[in-house]
Structure 1
Amino acid sequence: MNERLVKLLEQYQTRIIGQEQNLKFLLTALLADGHVLIEGVPGTGKTQMIKTLALLVGGEFNRIQFTPDLLPSDITGSKIYNMKEGNFQTLKGPIFTDVLLADEINRTPAKTQAALLEAMEERQVTIQGETYRLSELFFVAATQNPIEYEGTYPLPEAQQDRFIFKLLVDFPSLEDETSVLQHVIVDSIKQEQPTSLLTEIELAELKAEVKQVTIQAEIMKYIVEIVRRTREHDGIQYGASTRAAIAIAKTAQAWAFLAGRDYVTPDDVKTVVRPCLRHRIQLSPYAELEGTNLDEIIATLVGAVPVPR
């Protein structure tokens, strides 16, 4: 693995305890030029995960708390008339940053949720007919609470599809939770802000290297076969789209790069396939009544596809 990335992951895992896999997934998504949807109960360190990542990659961090009364202009910005100078001025919103945390994104109506779509897909924002470019580093991490749905607005499928990964954050183990207490209560005085280990230019160079990771035709066919199986399974009402196959391929390249390889293996695909698919497929009503686990269905689908040699 790249030496800078090794140090970055070491610092990351020192500060965010018990989430090693998710931390690697976050870095994978960033290197693959994607965005991440994070689902987890309150108090499990989701905000700290994103804020620490922003600091480590040298990016500016903004957080938006999504609420039912939030307007699109509260995210993107607006134009106001300056009476003193006699012209309109643009006030840019918090979306103009490098790393954006969209906290509890499902607590705001679809119209406001949609304000993120253009930014996430095209890295640009339009304010009253005028278009502004966003940072090349622009990365969105949106969170949602899985246990309280009253007063929420579920993300439309089209918006969920814009996220390259959906990560699940669970409670830590006994050992990890004890380490967190030690870290926060006992060591808090010694704790310093993490220092930036990458510049924006260095991160752009790493992203370019990820795109050069070889993905053979057999691996691409393997990915497509997995995605197509989601459209044929009895327990799935709506299968994954071609964008899902693209997401699997891109993140498999990034995962291989983090492993220090310049080629993708079937194991790389198997690692990234669940976070890539779990928000892109919808269970049938029968499967939901049966309490079917979505990740288990994905694992079954992947196991049924012959692995390329």
Structure 2
Amino acid sequence: MTMTTEQAARFADVFDKLTANIEQTLHGKSHVVRLALTALFSEGHLLLEDAPGTGKTSLARAIASSVRGTSSRIQFTPDLLPGDITGVSVYDQPSGAFSFHPGPVFANIVLADEINRASPKTQAALLEVMEEGTVTVDGDSHPVGLPFMVIATQNPIEQAGTYRLPEAQLDRFLLKTSIGYPDHATTLRILEGATERAHSGSRPPIITSDGVTLLAAEARTVHVDAAINDYVSRLVQATRDAGETRLGASVRAALALIRTAKTFAASDGRHYVVPDDVKALAGPVLAHRLVLDPEAEFDGVSALGVISQILLDVPPPGDVPTA
């Protein structure tokens, strides 16, 4: 069943209200907020690579409160253990049985702060639950529930004592972006409202967490024409053929691009995907999945630059049927 025009209009209305609500906390960053909500409604996870103090925690809390969900923050450190994230089984002496004590990953929105500071084993524990949606302890599976979204952060300016995420694990994140510093006018607005911002990102709810799950299901029904699938396939193939890359985007990356393009189309009030949806998301979806050739990196080539050039080289389809 394909999304109807009425469903697309309702989806866009909710999406716009959520964006406006969250932007009251993250001023002047509408594009980043829309990308984060695209990841949420596409049932994926977001990786933010940004300097400290740009609003990453506020973004996570604002999203959680806007969808009337729960949120948690995990500060990743070298001594953090997998059980500190997922939870542990504790022996109860009176009953003579083990009971499971859930960890902070059991929340709708989980902020994994400075994920690259934890050991690879601890990183893997989080990435496993991101993929499976369940935590397995002592042979018992515990679902984390829906909606479930991890917003992980990396600090690009300080690499001492960090464990770089392997490329195969970066592929688990649906989108990667950065918030960046606000411009002068936005900074003044933030400073003027400093006394009112003691709520640390809390916003009035716009929708329930169950409503998010229902809208995510509707987003999956957005129409994708064969010409769009062909365009995405050619873009992904071009990342593999590019001279600057040692490893291009995978089939999972192509699927991620289609998933997010569906949500992006619905957020614009359309029940069908157009090439501009794919173009808008190609960088955030594909760039972090590329492995550049060392010589290209030495010459200053970036993954986003490679994607930008590919978008220029690969022609989009012409008239795309809307249903």
What is the TM-score with the length of structure 1 in the denominator? 0.96
Q: Quote the residue 1:88 is aligned against.
A: 98
Q: Quote the residue 2:221 is aligned against.
A: 212
> The residue matched to 2:59 in structure 1 has which SS?
helix
With CA pairs under 8 Å and 6+ residues apart, which has the higher RCO, 1 or 2?
2
Q: Which is worse superposed, 195-204 or 216-225? A: 195-204
**Residues 1:305 and 1:119: Cα distance change in structure 2 (over 3 Å):** same
Letter in 1 for 2:127: L
> The residue matched to 1:278 in structure 2 has which SS?
helix
Q: String of CA shifts for 1:34-84, please: whole Å, max 9, x gaps.
A: 100001000000110111001001110011000000000111111121122
For residues 188-227 of structure 1, what are the structure 2 equivalents within 5 Å? 188=197, 193-227=202-236
Q: Is the 8 A contact 2:58 2:200 kept in 1?
A: no
> What is the CA distance between 1:209 and its match in structure 2?
1.3
Letter in 2 for 1:243: R
> The residue matched to 1:169 in structure 2 has which SS?
coil
Q: Quote the residue 2:126 is aligned against.
A: 116
For residues 1-309 of structure 1, what are the structure 2 equivalents within 5 Å? 1-2=9-10, 3-185=13-195, 187-188=196-197, 193-309=202-318
Q: String of CA shifts for 1:202-236, please: whole Å, max 9, x gaps.
A: 11221111011111000011001001111111111
**Residues 1:83 and 1:192: Cα distance change in structure 2 (over 3 Å):** closer
> What is the CA distance between 1:189 and its match in structure 2?
7.7
**Residues 1:55 and 1:170: Cα distance change in structure 2 (over 3 Å):** same
Q: String of CA shifts for 1:80-122, please: whole Å, max 9, x gaps.
A: 2112222111111111111100000000011000001221112
In 1, distance between residues paired with 2:146 and 2:237?
32
Listed as ranges, the gaps of 5+ residues in structure 2 are 1-8, 319-323
> What is the CA distance between 1:201 and its match in structure 2?
2.2
**Residues 1:114 and 1:30: Cα distance change in structure 2 (over 3 Å):** same
Q: Is the 8 A contact 2:87 2:103 kept in 1?
A: yes
Q: Percent same amino acid among aligned pairs?
A: 41
Runs of 4+ residues deviating >2 angstroms:
1-6, 187-193
> The residue matched to 2:125 in structure 1 has which SS?
helix
Q: Which is worse superposed, 256-265 or 163-172? A: 163-172
Give the CA RMSD over aligned residues. Answer: 1.5
**Residues 1:221 and 1:182: Cα distance change in structure 2 (over 3 Å):** same
> The residue matched to 1:62 in structure 2 has which SS?
strand
Letter in 2 for 1:251: T
Listed as ranges, the gaps of 5+ residues in structure 1 are none
> The residue matched to 1:279 in structure 2 has which SS?
helix
What is the TM-score with the length of structure 2 in the denominator? 0.92
In 2, distance between residues paired with 1:122 and 1:22?
26
> What is the CA distance between 1:190 and its match in structure 2?
10
In 2, distance between residues paired with 1:191 and 1:158?
34
In 2, distance between residues paired with 1:38 and 1:287?
24
